[in-house]
Amino acid sequence: MSSEAALMSLVAVTEAIAAKRLSSYEVTRSCLHRIAQWQPRLNAFMAVEAEAALNAAHEADAALAKGKIAGPLHGVPLAHKDMYYEAGKVVTCGSLIRRDFVASTTSTALRRLKDAGSIRLGSLQMAEFAYGPTGHNSHYGAVHNPFAPDHVTGGSSSGSGSAVAARLTFAALGSDTGGSVRMPAHFCGVTGLKTTYGRVSRAGAMPLSQSLDTVGPLARSAQDCALLLGLMAGPDPEDPTASDAPVQDYMAAAREPVRGVRIGVPSTFYVDDLDAEVARILDGTIAVLKREGAEIIPVELPDQRQLTAACQIVLAVEAAAFHKRWLIERPQDYGAQVLMRLQNGLAIPGVSYLEAMRWRAQALAAHVAATAGVDAIIAPVAPVAAPTIAESDVGNSAGAEGVIQRLTRFTRPINYLGLPSLAIPAGFTDGGLPVGMQLIGRSFDEATLLRIGAAFQRATDFHERVPKLP
Amino acid sequence: MMRPSAKEVTAMAEVAGVPVNAEAATRIANSIGPAFDGFAPIAGTLPFDIEPASFLLVQAAEVQS
């Protein structure tokens, strides 16, 4: 059967279903058809719930026939990273320890998307407990990059990046604690939004590091991310850290031209030690934005290495604290890589952790002062395109640890500062691997990032390129 | 702020209630060492009157600016 419906953007398919040009059933079947083709090669899904999805699609079509529309996502099939609790569903968190865990509550982010009318296709693979940047998973196998199956997807939202890129789901929730939305977006050629800390409720999302965790979408365009963020953002009585900062009109922002927007280009750190092709694509991205009317301004940022170090300290301690009981009772049930990462937090003194937390205010204030003259900053997501699965497999490759450290270099400072960052497909290497750039904004100003990202995507077609079955 | 040695890691993990063997202690010391080194210029320099929640005030001020 045709899989054309599954190739549409999220915004386009919502409009097609609402206008009855396509039924939810046709759209869901189209996604399931692609999943059947691609899943054996990608391992992107943790579970596919085909029958339930088709039944839900039938119900959505019947409701629409009676003039009842649940919301902006009426009848749209979606799948999400397997760490968002849904009452009555198994949520593995990519782990052996939670292989049979059945959630008793539904996460706020997921509930808001369901209330808007979305349908559940199944759940998506991820790094064990969201603690890994590549897409390896020793329990459920590595997820594969649709553009080059021997290469990593990036993690920890590995299934989200892979499934969105292969057009198996129109969008997917990921989570970003140290780069876990942006890296899969970069490596898989999709758009990913790391939200401001506190912008989207974390209630019912598996925790990794309560001071750094953020909920965000991976989708096929900035416009799609705008639609999803508008549905999820805002305060939540179940998460006291969910901010009541005003929710912007993200869809309106995504229609605005970029003319007059001031974009900063860091003079150091984010432009150092880049692979030649990433450097070329960064220059090309800046040239497009300039041509579209953005003002490009060099910026001097505070020392980003100190931010990375502080992020590592906070993440290591908070993750170890969440996992302490299982580290005592079930250490054998962790994958070797994740166990090693969790043990790191045991050796950091409480005073050092609290110093890293106390410095955060000063560090953010220094960043705000340094970037006062710009609306956003542009930087690569990582200095390289996707490495191979083999060369980044800790335990089986001598150089893997070095490869992994390099991958997270440009993402962790942003998590420590709690800032929003939009990863957009910006080009391809000569070997056909996607390369993404991140637009880093002011706290709670996702609208400006979506405005820039959407303008860039109106001028380019990197986000529309669809991988082909090998 | 000094990076901990493998021997110190062993002691801290023991105190934390999750003992690790010598091999793991060495690996942990090597793994977290760079974070200690990177944060060293900040450690011990912070003014008295800031706490972790001060971060939220800076965030909020950014929205209002």
| Ordered per-residue pLDDT tens for chain B, 65 residues | 689 999 999 999 999 999 999 999 999 999 999 999 999 999 999 999 999 999 999 999 988 77
Answer whether residue A353 shows pLDDT above 60.
yes
The nearest alpha carbon in chain B to A361 belongs to: B55
Q: How many other CB atoms are there within 10 angstroms of residue A351's CB atom?
A: 11
Record: contact A309-B39, CB cut-off 8 A: yes
Q: B34-44: per-residue pLDDT in tens?
A: 999 999 999 99
The residue among A28, A16, A250 whose CA lies nearest residue A118 is A28
Residue type for A85, please?
Y
pLDDT category at A24 given cuts 50, 70, 90 is: very high
Q: Is the pTM of this model over 0.95?
A: yes
Record: contact A347-B59, CB cut-off 8 A: no
Judged by a CB distance cut-off of 8 A, whether residue A348 touches chain B is yes
Considering CB atoms only, which of A243, A306, A347 is closest to B12? Answer: A347
According to DSSP, the β-strands at A119-124 and A77-81 are parallel
Q: A320-350: per-residue pLDDT in tens?
A: 999 999 999 999 999 999 999 999 999 999 9
pLDDT category at A375 given cuts 50, 70, 90 is: very high
The nearest alpha carbon in chain B to A405 belongs to: B31
Judged by a CB distance cut-off of 8 A, whether residue A312 touches chain B is yes
Q: A410-420: per-residue pLDDT in tens?
A: 999 999 999 99
Considering CB atoms only, which of A308, A352, A418 is closest to B59? Answer: A418
Considering CB atoms only, which of A306, A346, A361 is closest to B57? Answer: A361
Q: Provide the pLDDT for residue A1.
A: 41
Mean pLDDT of chain A: 96
Q: A106-136: per-residue pLDDT in tens?
A: 999 999 999 999 999 999 999 999 999 999 9
The nearest alpha carbon in chain B to A327 belongs to: B18
Closest approach of A357 to chain B, Cα-based (Å):
5
Q: Which residues of B touch A368 (CB under 8 A)?
A: 58, 62, 65
Judged by a CB distance cut-off of 8 A, whether residue A356 touches chain B is yes
Report the distance separating Cα A447 and Cα B41, nearest Å: 35
Answer whether residue A310 shows pLDDT above 50.
yes
Which of A303, A328, A343 would you mutate first to test chain B, the one with the most B CBs within 10 A? A343
Catalytically annotated residues of A: 81, 156, 180
Give the distance from CA A162 to its chain's centroid.
Answer: 11
Record: contact B31-A444, CB cut-off 8 A: no
Q: Provide the pLDDT for residue A52.
A: 98
Q: Say which residue the tokens 């001097």 belong to.
A: A300
Q: Provide the pLDDT for residue A406.
A: 87
Report the distance separating Cα B26 and Cα B4, nearest Å: 10
Contacting A residues, span 244-303, partner chain B, CB-CB under 8 Å: 245-246, 303
Cβ distance A81 to A175 under 8 Å? Answer: yes
Judged by a CB distance cut-off of 8 A, whether residue B16 touches chain A is yes
Report the distance separating Cα A259 and Cα A130, nearest Å: 38
Judged by a CB distance cut-off of 8 A, whether residue B12 touches chain A is yes
Judged by a CB distance cut-off of 8 A, whether residue B46 touches chain A is yes
Q: Provide the pLDDT for residue A15.
A: 98
Judged by a CB distance cut-off of 8 A, whether residue A310 touches chain B is yes
Answer whether residue A79 shows pLDDT above 60.
yes
Contacts of A298 (CB under 8 A, 6+ apart): A264, A265, A266, A267
Q: Provide the pLDDT for residue A2.
A: 46
Q: Provide the pLDDT for residue A392.
A: 85
Record: contact A246-B63, CB cut-off 8 A: yes
Q: Provide the pLDDT for residue A403.
A: 81
Record: contact B59-A360, CB cut-off 8 A: no
Q: A136-180: per-residue pLDDT in tens?
A: 999 999 999 999 999 999 999 999 999 999 999 999 999 999 999
Record: contact B50-A368, CB cut-off 8 A: no
Cβ distance A254 to A228 under 8 Å? Answer: no
Considering CB atoms only, which of A308, A357, A364 is closest to B59? Answer: A364
Answer whether residue A399 shows pLDDT above 80.
no
